Chains A and B, each alone.
Chain A
């Protein structure tokens, strides 16, 4: 069975460039989450969607970050313009049901972003 698929696995870019990270959740999952992982701050929830609708984006650091989910099988996280402090591993995760009760999120392998 295919898990959560993220691309690219690694991205190196220069400050000021636009970065787009992509995620394909597990088919049938209603919830999709974007997390950012850094050594200093650990795992931070950026935004999550329920049935393609953004529910909570309070974790998005600033206006340079945006996320979309145009359909049930695809989501993007965009950073424009990128800055060195955005360097991190970005994880996408999906869940098949009310995660409040189940608590099991299925994570992709992450996209490691380096902004020079």
Chain B
């Protein structure tokens, strides 16, 4: 079945540091890939997405490129802020047909220190 693997947290960085959160996936079809973010006490919200190979999703300074050859969708940001502290989830939606929701990774807790 489909699965998403992302790096374990917590990841602790200083403000203005470069961020990479790794994500790899296994899917039978040609999935769309997503990053969701969960701020403390809130539900998840979509951060960015890419629907086909080599697409780059971007939002709020975050970027991720859909790499089919390495089955990866790593999240990056050049200079993180304290307000980026949250849990980040990588997810996929398989194109096998039918709307069956998203398969999520376990989440990576990011802590940004001033």
Chain A contact patch, size range: 20 to 34
Asked if B17 is at the interface of the complex by the 8 Å CB criterion, the answer is no
Q: Main SS of chain B's interface residues?
A: loop
Q: Hey, which chain A residues are within 8 Å of B98, CB to CB?
A: 55, 100
A-B contact count (CB 8 A): 68
Chain B 30-47 per-residue mask, 1 if CB under 8 angstroms from chain A, else 0:
001010000001111110
A45 and B100 contact, Cβ closer than 8 Å, known pairs A99-B93, A100-B93, A103-B93:
yes
Question: Which residues 19-65 of A have a CB within 8 angstroms of B?
Answer: 31, 33, 35, 41-43, 45, 48, 50, 55-56
Q: Kindly state the separation between the CA atoms of A100 and B89 in the bound complex, as whole angstroms.
A: 18
A42 and B101 contact, Cβ closer than 8 Å, known pairs A93-B43, A103-B34:
no
Q: Is the CB of B104 within 8 A of A43?
A: yes
Q: Is the CB of B102 within 8 A of A105?
A: yes
Q: Is the CB of B43 within 8 A of A99?
A: no
Q: Hey, which chain B residues are within 8 Å of A93, CB to CB?
A: 43-44
Q: Hey, which chain B residues are within 8 Å of A31, CB to CB?
A: 99
Q: Kindly state the separation between the CA atoms of A22 and B81 in the bound complex, as whole angstroms.
A: 35
A56 and B34 contact, Cβ closer than 8 Å, known pairs A42-B105, A105-B44:
no
Q: Kindly state the separation between the CA atoms of A50 and B101 in the bound complex, as whole angstroms.
A: 11
B111 CB to nearest A CB, Å:
16
A4 CB to nearest B CB, Å:
7
Q: Hey, which chain A residues are within 8 Å of B95, CB to CB?
A: 100
Q: Hey, which chain A residues are within 8 Å of B100, CB to CB?
A: 45, 48, 55-56, 100
Q: Identify 15 new A-B residue pairs, CB closer than 8 A, beyond the known A43-B104, A56-B100, A103-B32.
A: A35-B101, A42-B105, A42-B107, A45-B100, A45-B102, A48-B101, A50-B99, A55-B99, A93-B43, A103-B49, A103-B51, A105-B46, A106-B45, A108-B43, A109-B43
A-B pairs, top 6 by smallest CB distance, nearest first, are: A107-B43, A42-B106, A43-B104, A107-B44, A45-B101, A104-B46
